[in-house]
Structures are given as structure tokens and as C-alpha cells.
């Protein structure tokens, strides 16, 4: 029987290893230490740190009085430290946290996008350095849904629009109040995993570390199993299931994209579904068991928890904590939804899940501007952008939508006819980008002159789940002139943050009135916007 060069090479490597090395040790072990000079190596005078959790992705141990830890050795595993409060981990060259060691004795399988090189036997000691820091009481972080570039052109578009906007926005904030880290909520790239490098080069300009979540477009689809599909992601960013503490918050990052294979036209084809596999759930169980009940637990994932088939077990684990939040990306729209008893949640107050705004919008589709950059409006009519999450020391939180290249107070759009007949009814739509179940929307018509008697009273609008009619009209108008010169906008989807109402137009022929809209969010903050409407003049009976 002829042995392939690949198998022959692997056999030779095994032969060399077994001839020159003892069998794998029974335990993986190392030290968690205070890296006082931030060089990544343990030097004389750098003490061990006790009470720090270390994991292999399924089990968790705690460092002893000397900072030493150990776990049963596994053939392949990613070992990592769970960053504790008031400590920082090193930042890798690509701007992401360097908190792990990937053990791949013989390397990753050969894949179209490279995974990990062979590591050989376990090191005698896997040491994780931490640096002492003073973490702020109020934690502020940045959230990117789906950066998802398919090529370098799209990395550049994101850099020029979203990243530049983030840098400018953060520069306008007092240094002590700026975001301390960011998170990309999966679909870091769009199938071409060679874009991991250019994408992180762009994000690194923000000047903060970025924690990464894996998404369905971050997988090696030529892998033989779901476990092998994460090899390139692990090479660049580390484990797909992990956690860390920051201030009074505990962040749990989970891979909820499960790959499976089926036969199609005689070929074995990979697909995915929204599910937390046993490895993800094992880590969630082990991790949350060691988290104090008074922590604010924030779960980061890619596919919305509302779509995860086995979400009930995770929600059951989270029900122990009075303060929780989960955040995802994936849909290229944004919404906020509450989960309750039917989903496995056992507390009285529901669990809030937020689907975050995407940095690529709707996959860089739509008519380009004068720079050649598509508007990429999301499928819910909201602009591409990012979000700022503030977790306060008092246990509350604030979630802020930010549109790329838009003012901070641009939080909603108002769509209303430009002209109306005297005495008619007009329908207005208000799309509140970060609208939640607590959002209130009101509107009224105000004549240009000061006759207060002609002002209509404030009227509450009704939240409706339907496509944004403005977005449908925009897409139709673009299709008339597109002629394949840019990527076609996707079909508009249902919007969960759209409010609408009917307003009575005053009998003020030929005059202009202002539609005034005010929006109150869950924080009690109020935004206003005014839009002009011309009341048409009645044509003479003879048509002149």
C-alpha cells in the first residue's frame, strides 16, 4: 500500500517524537504570575497569583497560593487564563488579547486556510502573565456586529467609515470615560479567512484590545468536523468558548454556530445551525458555577439567542443571576427582545437579548457615494455602525447606537409625505434604531405661525413589526438605475423598532407645518426631530 507524502510526514513526526520524548504527561500545568515588566515571561521577583481560574475549554481549575495550576492533559486543547478583575492580559501583535496557549501536537489538518503549526509535546509549564490595573467602576465598551469583509476593498471601506468614526467619537470623550475594550460579535470575515489579518490591522487603530466571537463565516468549511472548523480562528484569536472579568461584570463568550454535514448531489456538504454544542455548554456550566451571584453576566455570541435551538439550558444557568444581558449579531438588523419562561428563563423579570448593529451594514450593498463606498443600509432601515455598552457600578446598563459618519444624536429616522391635502390624514413612520420594548414615540403637527390653537396634541405612536416602507422604496428606486454597477440591496426585513401613527392635517391651505417627533428611550433620554410638510393649495374649480 502506498502512503501519501502527508501521512508519511506525520508518521515520521510521530516516530521522532516517540523516540526522543517521554509520553504526554498526565497533567497540563503552569503558573499564573504577575508580569510586572509586561514582557510575557516570568522573571525573578514576579510572584505567582493565587485564586485565578484557568481552563482547557471544558474544565476549570484555580491557581494555588503560589500561582500554580494543573489540569488533566488532553491530546489537543486550548489552555487559557480567565482574566480576573483588576488585572490585564497581554495584547497580541494583532491587537487581540493574548491569554491562551493552543496545544496541537501534530498541528491542524491541512485546510485551505492555514490552522496551527505542530506544537510538539506539552510544555513543562504554561505560564500566564497578568498585569495589575485599576478598572473603572463604570465599564464602557464597543460592540461591532459582523465586520465581515469579503476582500481588502471592504476592509478599507469599513476603515474609512466605521473605524474612522469610532476614533473620532472616542477622541471626543474624556480619557477616563473612553471604552476600554471592544468585541466583534462573529462573522469577523466573510469566508475568506485570510482577511483576519487586514481586518485586525484596521481595528488596532482604535487603540483598545478586541475580544473576538466566532461566526458562521469564520469557519473552515473544508474541515472534516465541527471541532476542526475553528482552526484558523483559533490560530488568530484563541478559544471559541471563553470568559473574562472586567470590573463587576463577567463576560461569557460562546460559539453557538454548530456545523454539520449532509449529502447533496452525491457530495458531502457542510452547513450550520444555531446550537450550543456540548463543548460550549460544558464550558458554560463550568464557568458560571464559579461566578459570584452579584456579578453582571454578559453573554456574547454570534447567532441571536432567540434562534438557538437549545437556549433553555443556558437560560436556566443564567437564571441564578439577578443581572444578565446577552448580545449577538448575524441578522444585519438590530433589535431587542425579552426571553421568559417559555425559553427556559426562571426569574420573574425577563432576560434581555440585544441583536447588535453591524459594521458592514447589509454586506456593503447599495448605491455607492462619491467615494465609491456603498451606503450598506441594514435590512431594517438602520445605518451601519457600532454600539457602546456602559455597565454601571450600580447594576444598570446603557446601550447606545452609533451610526457610521453620523452625529451621536442621530438615533432615528422620520418618514412622512412632503405634501398633504388640507384636512387629510397622513401616516408617519419613525424608525428608532436602538428601539426597545420600553421606547416611547410621540408626534404632533405644529404650524409655522404661533397660533397655539392650531397645534395638534402630542399623539402616541404604535410599535408595529413590518418592513420599513422607506427602505423598500429606496431599494426599488436603486434597481431602476443600478444596471449591475453595484451589489443589489437585500429585501427589507421586518423591523422590530418601527413606530407609526396617523395625524390630522390642519385646514391651512398653502402653508407649511412641522411634524415634531419626540422619542424617549429606556434610560429616559429624549430626542426631538422636526420635518416640514407642505399643505397643498386647493386648485380652482376651472382648473386654472
Instruction: For residue range 236-250, list pLDDT tens digits in order.
Output: 999 999 999 999 999
What is the arithmetic mean of pLDDT over 532-543? 68
3-state secondary structure 436-472: CCCCEEEEEEEECCCCHHHCCCCEECEEEEECCHHHH
pLDDT tens, 291-336?
999 999 999 999 999 999 999 999 999 999 999 999 999 999 999 9
As a whole-number percent, the residues of the chain with pLDDT over 90 amount to: 83
What pLDDT, on a 0 to 100 scale, did the predictor assign at position 423? 87
pLDDT at residue 68 is higher than 70: yes
What is the arithmetic mean of pLDDT over 15-21? 44
As a whole-number percent, the residues of the chain with pLDDT over 70 amount to: 93
pLDDT at residue 75 is higher than 90: no
- The better pLDDT of the pair 13, 372 is held by 372
3-state secondary structure 82-140: CCCCCEEEEECCCCCEECEEEECCCCCCCCCCCCCCCCCCCCCCCCEEEEECCCCCCEE
Give burial (CB, 10 Å; 0-12/13-18/19+) of 309: exposed
Closest CA to 503 of 451, 448, 441, 412: 441
Least confident range of 19-28, 115-124, 314-323, 354-363? 19-28
Task: Give all strands of the β-sheet with 425-432 in edge-to-edge order.
Answer: 412-415, 425-432, 495-504, 462-466
Please answer whether residues 388 and 181 qualify as being in contact, where contact means their C-beta atoms are separated by less than 8 angstroms. Answer: no
Return the bridge partners of 327, or none. Answer: 300, 354
Inter-axis angle of helices 311-318 and 278-289, nearest 10: 0
Phi, psi (5° rounding) for residue 330? 85, -40
What pLDDT, on a 0 to 100 scale, did the predictor assign at position 192? 98
For residue 196 the three cell numbers come to 483576519
pLDDT tens, 33-59?
999 999 989 999 999 999 999 999 999
What is the arithmetic mean of pLDDT over 76-93? 96
Our measurement of the distance from residue 31's CA atom to the centroid of its chain's CA atoms, rounded to an integer in Å, reads 32
Closest CA to 325 of 252, 380, 374, 375: 252
What pLDDT, on a 0 to 100 scale, did the predictor assign at position 538? 62
Distance in angstroms between the alpha carbons of the first and the last residue of the chain: 97
Q: Which domains does the chain have, with CATH numbers?
A: 22-128 (2.60.40), 129-403 (3.60.21.10), 412-535 (2.60.40.2550)
What pLDDT, on a 0 to 100 scale, did the predictor assign at position 22? 55
- Residue linked to cell 425577563: 350
What pLDDT, on a 0 to 100 scale, did the predictor assign at position 6? 34
pLDDT tens, 227-285?
889 999 999 999 999 999 999 999 999 999 999 988 888 888 889 999 999 999 999 99
What pLDDT, on a 0 to 100 scale, did the predictor assign at position 224? 87
For residue 522 the three cell numbers come to 429606556
Please answer whether residues 385 and 406 qualify as being in contact, where contact means their C-beta atoms are separated by less than 8 angstroms. Answer: yes
What is the arithmetic mean of pLDDT over 344-363? 97
Looking at residue 80, what DSSP letter applies?
Answer: E
Closest CA to 405 of 390, 386, 388: 386
What pLDDT, on a 0 to 100 scale, did the predictor assign at position 19? 37
Task: Report which secondary-structure segment, H or E, holds 336.
Answer: strand 335-339
User: In angstroms, what CA-CA distances link 353 with 254, 311, 526?
Assistant: 14, 12, 23
What is the arithmetic mean of pLDDT over 392-406? 95
What pLDDT, on a 0 to 100 scale, did the predictor assign at position 9? 39
pLDDT at residue 1 is higher than 50: no
**Alpha-carbon gap, residue 467 to 471, rounded angstroms:** 8
pLDDT at residue 381 is higher than 60: yes
pLDDT tens, 382-396?
999 999 999 998 889
What pLDDT, on a 0 to 100 scale, did the predictor assign at position 268? 85
Closest CA to 529 of 516, 542, 544: 516
What pLDDT, on a 0 to 100 scale, did the predictor assign at position 453? 58
pLDDT at residue 402 is higher than 50: yes
User: In angstroms, what CA-CA distances link 262 with 267, 277, 389, 451?
Assistant: 8, 18, 40, 70
Closest CA to 314 of 349, 275, 355, 259: 275
pLDDT tens, 417-476?
999 899 899 999 999 999 999 999 999 998 866 555 556 789 999 999 999 999 999 999
**Alpha-carbon gap, residue 275 to 260, rounded angstroms:** 11
pLDDT at residue 15 is higher than 90: no
User: In angstroms, what CA-CA distances link 309 with 257, 275, 333, 346, 469?
Assistant: 11, 5, 20, 18, 32
Amino acid at each position: 500500500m502506498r502512503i501519501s507524502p502527508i501521512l508519511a510526514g506525520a508518521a515520521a513526526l510521530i516516530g521522532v517524537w516517540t523516540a526522543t520524548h517521554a509520553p504526554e504527561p498526565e497533567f497540563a500545568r503552569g503558573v499564573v504570575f504577575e508580569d510586572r515588566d509586561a514582557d510575557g515571561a516570568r522573571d525573578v521577583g514576579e510572584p505567582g497569583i493565587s485564586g485565578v481560574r484557568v481552563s482547557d475549554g471544558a474544565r476549570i481549575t484555580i491557581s494555588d497560593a503560589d500561582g500554580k495550576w494543573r489540569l488533566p492533559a488532553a491530546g489537543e486543547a486550548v489552555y487559557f487564563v480567565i482574566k480576573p478583575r483588576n488585572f490585564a492580559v497581554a495584547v497580541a501583535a494583532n491587537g487581540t488579547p493574548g491569554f491562551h496557549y493552543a496545544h496541537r501536537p501534530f498541528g491542524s489538518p491541512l485546510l485551505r486556510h492555514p490552522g496551527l503549526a505542530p506544537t510538539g509535546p506539552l510544555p513543562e509549564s504554561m505560564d500566564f502573565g497578568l498585569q495589575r490595573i485599576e478598572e473603572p467602576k463604570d465599564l464602557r465598551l464597543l460592540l461591532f456586529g459582523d465586520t465581515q469583509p469579503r476582500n481588502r476593498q471592504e476592509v478599507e471601506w469599513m476603515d474609512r467609515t466605521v473605524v474612522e468614526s469610532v476614533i473620532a467619537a472616542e477622541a471626543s470623550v474624556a480619557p477616563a470615560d473612553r471604552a476600554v475594550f471592544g468585541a466583534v460579535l462573529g462573522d469577523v470575515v466573510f469566508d475568506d479567512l485570510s482577511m483576519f489579518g487586514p481586518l485586525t490591522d484596521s481595528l488596532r487603530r482604535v487603540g483598545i484590545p478586541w475580544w473576538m466571537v466566532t461566526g458562521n463565516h469564520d469557519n473552515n468549511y473544508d474541515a472534516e468536523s465541527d471541532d476542526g472548523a475553528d482552526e484558523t480562528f483559533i490560530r488568530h484569536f484563541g478559544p471559541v468558548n471563553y470568559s473574562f472579568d472586567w470590573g463587576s461584570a463577567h463576560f461569557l463568550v460562546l460559539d453557538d454556530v454548530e456545523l454539520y454535514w449532509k449529502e447533496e448531489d452525491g457530495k458531502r456538504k457542510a452547513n450550520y445551525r444555531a446550537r450550543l454544542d456540548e463543548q460550549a455548554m460544558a464550558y458554560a456550566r463550568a464557568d458560571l458555577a464559579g461566578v459570584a451571584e452579584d456579578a453582571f453576566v454578559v453573554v456574547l455570541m454570534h447567532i441571536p439567542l432567540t434562534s438557538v435551538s437549545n437556549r433553555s439550558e443556558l437560560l436556566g444557568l443564567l437564571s441564578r443571576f439577578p443581572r444578565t444581558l446577552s448580545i449577538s449579531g448575524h441578522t444585519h438588523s438590530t433589535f431587542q427582545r425579552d426571553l421568559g419562561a417559555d425559553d427556559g428563563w426562571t426569574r420573574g423579570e425577563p432576560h434581555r437579548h440585544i441583536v447588535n448593529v453591524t459594521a458592514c451594514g447589509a454586506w456593503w450593498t447599495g448605491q455607492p457615494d462619491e467615494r465609491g463606498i456603498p451606503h450598506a443600509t441594514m435590512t431594517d432601515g438602520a445605518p451601519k455602525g457600532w454600539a457602546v455598552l456602559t455597565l454601571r457600578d450600580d447594576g444598570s446598563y446603557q446601550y447606545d447606537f452609533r451610526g457610521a459618519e453620523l452625529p451621536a444624536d442621530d438615533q432615528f429616522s422620520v418618514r412622512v409625505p412632503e405634501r398633504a391635502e388640507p384636512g387629510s390624514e397622513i401616516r408617519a413612520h419613525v424608525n428608532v434604531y436602538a428601539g426597545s420594548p420600553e421606547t416611547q414615540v410621540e408626534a404632533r403637527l405644529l404650524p409655522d405661525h404661533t397660533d397655539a390653537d392650531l397645534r395638534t396634541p402630542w399623539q402616541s405612536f404604535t410599535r408595529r413589526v413590518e418592513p420599513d416602507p422607506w427602505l423598500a422604496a429606496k431599494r426599488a428606486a436603486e434597481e431602476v438605475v443600478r444596471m449591475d454597477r453595484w451589489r443589489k440591496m437585500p429585501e427589507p426585513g421586518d423591523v422590530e423598532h418601527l413606530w407609526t401613527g396617523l395625524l390630522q392635517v390642519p385646514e391651512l391651505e398653502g402653508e407649511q407645518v412641522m411634524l415634531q417627533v419626540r422619542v424617549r428611550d429606556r434610560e429616559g433620554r429624549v430626542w426631538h426631530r422636526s420635518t416640514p410638510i407642505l399643505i397643498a393649495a386647493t386648485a380652482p374649480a376651472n382648473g386654472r
